[in-house]
Structure 1
Amino acid sequence: MNTKRIVVTGGPSTGKTAVIEALEQKGYHCLEEVIRAMTLAKKAEESEVVFESNPIVSVTDPMAFNQMILNARVSQYESTLESTEKFVFFDRGIPDVLAYMDCFNQEYDESFTNACSLNRYDLIFLMPPWKEIHVVDNERFESYEESLRINECLERSYTDLGYNVQIVPKDTITNRVDFILDSVKNLT
């Protein structure tokens, strides 16, 4: 079977995880965001560090942290290579790593861009910033203004890699899921 790999991405507090959870409840195979567990582990490990913004600028070794995220996302992608599922949904994709690094002015080498070129997705959905649902909590440290910047970098990163990014309308979770499922019906 030719599994279709679909990314649902967006800045912090855009509703990605709620949409992924709703897709999962409908029986679709979904892969969760890898950075949540890594962020909690780093916060525990580096207890003296104050996380005031994205973890990639708060940890003591941002490049090592980014490499860890990249490796985890590539592993997630590779885990789907033998999949028999028609669709697999990812809560963020490999290019998100580049987008966040660009957003926070961090340099990366060609191993990061090569990972994006070698592991291609079939469809990209971008959840736009939504001020009314934006929150800062133990896993999301970015302000709404940072979320706007991240969104721009995400869209640019995927577009620069040749993807046609589909913007998911701000709506109820049910309507957002319906929008995504209506769009994936056209994948062959």
Structure 2
Amino acid sequence: MSSNPFYVLAGPPGAGKTTLLEQISDEIETVPEYARRVLAHERRTGGRATGDQDQALFVARMLDLALSDYQSAVGPTLFDRGLPDLLAFCAHYGLPDNRVHAAVQAHRYRQAVFFLPAWKEIYSTDDERLLDFAGAEAFGELIRTAYEQSGYDLIEVPKASPHERAAFVLERISR
């Protein structure tokens, strides 16, 4: 496994990853979620690379952005989603995952991945997050499986305040 200083927040939509990333951003370099960036771009430009229009193009654009993010990162960096999340997208959409799988094997993160479980009390939908809670929870299990099958160990981040979650993650990064 990689000893590079790249860490990942993984988990289903609406589990608090983005809030946690914002809480930590003064302490470590962070990379925002690629899925939301692709969706925002497609919405602005009238593009079709979305989960409800062209799923294969959506995954391809996310993969390109995730690889660019990975290759641009220098020093300790915390990513909101990593490449293995894309295996879950492929499984969810019933798409082939050969290109994604090759990228997952070639671009490794730290062995321990921070997993934020589905949390109904904080879950909400928005312009990019369209799944209901049950759908998000099921997608979270696809993400968990993708990381485990890719050889990562998951550290479950407790359901707590953003400040407490940030302290939990930062303590483990500093070890």
Per the normalisation by structure 1, the TM-score is: 0.85
Partner of 1:159: 148
Partner of 1:120: 108
**Displacement of 1:37:** 2.7
Identity %: 27
CA distance in 2, matches of 1:154, 1:183: 21
**Displacement of 1:41:** 2.9
Partner of 1:68: 61
- 1:170-185 alignment, distance < 5 Å: 170-185=159-174
Q: Where does the alignment leave 5 or more consecutive residues of structure 2 unmatched?
A: none
Conservation of the 8 A alpha-carbon contact between 1:103 and 1:149: no
**Displacement of 1:40:** 2.4
Conservation of the 8 A alpha-carbon contact between 1:3 and 1:88: no
Please provide the CA RMSD for this pair: 1.7
- Of residues 95, 98, 101 in structure 1, which corresponds to 2:84? 95
| Other structure's SS at 2:124 match | coil
Q: List structure 1 segments (4+ residues) > 6 angstroms apart after TM superposition.
A: none
Conservation of the 8 A alpha-carbon contact between 2:13 and 2:129: yes
Partner of 1:133: 122
| Other structure's SS at 1:169 match | coil
- 1:9-158 alignment, distance < 5 Å: 9-24=10-25, 26-46=26-46, 55-56=50-51, 58-59=52-53, 61-80=54-73, 83=74, 85=75, 87-104=76-93, 106-122=94-110, 123-158=112-147
What do residues 70-119 of structure 1 show as CA deviations (whole Å, max 9, x unaligned)?
A: 11101111112xx2x3x200010011111122123x22242110000000
Larger radius of gyration: 1
| Other structure's SS at 2:146 match | helix
**Number of aligned pairs?**
171
**Displacement of 1:137:** 1.0
Conservation of the 8 A alpha-carbon contact between 2:59 and 2:86: yes
